[in-house]
Structure 1
């Protein structure tokens, strides 16, 4: 087996390598290729050296190769994992700061920030797909690149590559519930309805028994991600919602609290992007340590806990044809009745070695409380993909204008103009 990691210089890569090392023999893994762009060459070299120390400490179960030549990484690959950040952390900072200048939440996967990240990323991902179609036509593409749902939808609509999108949020819920009830992951079953970073848990079961009422009654906390502001949900709100919202719902349901917090950080020039930059610098200093041969615990601060497990378990399910259920970003095809068939949704799927089949959700679980917000944000995502591919400024303004975090089309247009100017080296033709 050959696995290509596009964005191999990412600080997340040691997490992935840990999982690949643990499962290398059952997978028959022989080669891992780490690929990055020239701007990321220094980080790639650091990751390559750490990767080789990790592999050596595990008795060399596979070889690690690092390259700036993407085609060398992709040719003959069985699996391609994309975890790229076009424009690196400096552009993430602008994605957060520009909306905040207009009193709008700045976040890297939703709202104007996520929108701009998608505009930078989609053309690059589709270019990667052309290489896969040419050099590894039978390969699976597993996309971790945010905004994962939007990027995956672009691939599903505009390429022939077999692809699914992944996120670490679902597996974190499985981990939380398993730990809370003292059971194994196999004893936990969760019903998800939604799209990436806008997903509701409409029920969950422990050893076959529904336990949703315990969260709705406030008897246990819902999972909160490391990188999302934590404001407690009111039990009365959860009860009337009838579902568990993801942490990212705070940007919608608690917009005022999140915005107030962000504006305070904005005034101090210290948003999440600034914090991530510091965490990255600390991590890479640790990665340079010649005595380090394992993933450092500090990596959990980056907010991607268990992403390796999500990726490696999916590879195992495909490669060994285990027919297990995974929560993935896939083409809807009727899984959520109120969304278009060709839209990308995040739902439970049965995974086989030749296909990934979404399981149809119970239409009764897509209540108006869920359907209203879900349809609007999905429409924004559809328009975002269209704007990125066609480089259509009018469609781009329409996408931003209907997003729940943007108060008017005038503000949408102002933010877009500022963002396009700031991203002139990464997007053109609008």
Structure 2
């Protein structure tokens, strides 16, 4: 099959995840050929730290691919087939505020869940809409593959405020968990099984997992998760695996307690923040949060490795690694470009896929991806327990988007109050007022 080479724009070129994504793209050129890679970021200095190294790497490993990096939207967004968007408005410094401000009041601070996630969402909405508008102006036939967080709020904002745009919202968290499931089962890949799943982003459940011969794999995974969570057999053997940070190991272990609430399904790990919020507060350090971990480790390491490439003038000895989990992005883009009809979990408007749930809710469910975009699959009725939880969380997400669009203090206060992570309306208001002060540069004015 003669595959047409694609032109890719990475929006968020200065992200520490960008090198891994580029290397993943290079590792998949046989099934997703590329003629051009562009970077776009509004922080030129940060982007150049990544771009200068990637330019050297591409010249050595794929000289046929044209490369450029720009802070000019017209230059960056012209002649593009796919925009791969992973922006972080406010960078990790604002993530630190998202995490530390709620913790002052005994509420979990997290980048996508609870008040911290809402604060991040209020910053992200405008940034993602801006990218969509640039894409539609300069490359109107392009698709945006958005994996910017918080995906649930961003997805609701694009549904409400850019309903006709060619944007697909996707998250790597289910992908990462399915890699772990594959290891638990002794399989080579998550592609060795087919799943049924429903929920919201970072708020969902697997209901059926079968191999390609139709054998039910759920009992074996459920038995493992009941005792070990999503900690894999190899991690148990190593006892103190240094490759997985302690905060993530805690998350994978906590999944066993989350699974107790509905033993018939397998949960997304992020449900721990809603089922056991106080447990998460107790293990959090209000002086040193996940944002500090990332800035002190991942951010420094990636920029250091890029600097080494630039100083050496070669990427021959680089320690930059392929982001294996990011291969889902190629699967998605390839299915749109070449109509391969991949089956993937996407965040899409419900519109009857969950028959007893809000049709306008942005739900995370399996879809078949064609050249026309996603075709959502029907998952049927959902149980009362999950339905109640999801209705509450959807209301939070919709209120945040309405607060952003209307400049409404009242609606954002309501959203924070409604979150299962927040104990009462008084605490919600205290957190909100602090977040407003911290986000003056990024949020619309609220009244």
- Whether these two folds match at TM > 0.5 is yes
1:202–1:80 CA distance, 2 compared to 1 (3 A) = same
- Following superposition, the deviation at residue 193 of structure 1 comes to 0.9
> 1:102 aligns to what SS in structure 2?
coil
Answer yes or no: is 1:348 the counterpart of 2:353: no
Counterpart CA distance in 2 for 1:411 and 1:3 is 44
Per the alignment, residue 409 of structure 1 pairs with 425
User: What pairs with 1:348-367 in structure 2 (closer than 5 Å)?
Assistant: 348-363=366-381, 366-367=382-383
Per the alignment, residue 114 of structure 1 pairs with 117
* 1:19 equivalent among 21, 24, 28: 24
Counterpart CA distance in 1 for 2:114 and 2:444 is 21
* 2:177 equivalent among 173, 177, 191: 173
> 1:80 aligns to what SS in structure 2?
strand
1:152–1:187 CA distance, 2 compared to 1 (3 A) = same
Per the alignment, residue 268 of structure 2 pairs with 246
Per the alignment, residue 314 of structure 1 pairs with 332
Per the alignment, residue 281 of structure 1 pairs with 300
The number of residue pairs the alignment matches comes to: 418
Counterpart CA distance in 2 for 1:199 and 1:296 is 38
1:48–1:140 CA distance, 2 compared to 1 (3 A) = same
> Are the equivalent residues in 1 in contact too, given 2:254–2:272 (CA < 8 A)?
no
Moved more, 289-298 or 90-99: 289-298
The TM-score normalised by the length of structure 2 is 0.88
> Are the equivalent residues in 1 in contact too, given 2:357–2:387 (CA < 8 A)?
no
Answer yes or no: is 1:293 the counterpart of 2:315: yes
- Following superposition, the deviation at residue 87 of structure 1 comes to 0.8
> Are the equivalent residues in 2 in contact too, given 1:218–1:235 (CA < 8 A)?
no
> 1:289 aligns to what SS in structure 2?
helix
- Following superposition, the deviation at residue 384 of structure 1 comes to 1.1
Per the alignment, residue 425 of structure 1 pairs with 441
> Are the equivalent residues in 1 in contact too, given 2:39–2:69 (CA < 8 A)?
yes
> Are the equivalent residues in 1 in contact too, given 2:305–2:319 (CA < 8 A)?
no
Per the alignment, residue 393 of structure 1 pairs with 409
> Are the equivalent residues in 1 in contact too, given 2:19–2:320 (CA < 8 A)?
no
Answer yes or no: is 1:198 the counterpart of 2:216: no
For the aligned residue pairs, the C-alpha RMSD in angstroms reads 2.3
Per the alignment, residue 220 of structure 2 pairs with 214
Answer yes or no: is 1:158 the counterpart of 2:161: yes
* 1:257 equivalent among 257, 279, 284: 279
Moved more, 78-87 or 15-24: 15-24
1:373-399 residue CA offsets vs partner (Å, 9 max, x unmatched): 122111111111111122211111111
Per the alignment, residue 324 of structure 1 pairs with 342
Any gaps of 5 or more consecutive residues in structure 1? Answer: none
> Are the equivalent residues in 2 in contact too, given 1:383–1:399 (CA < 8 A)?
yes
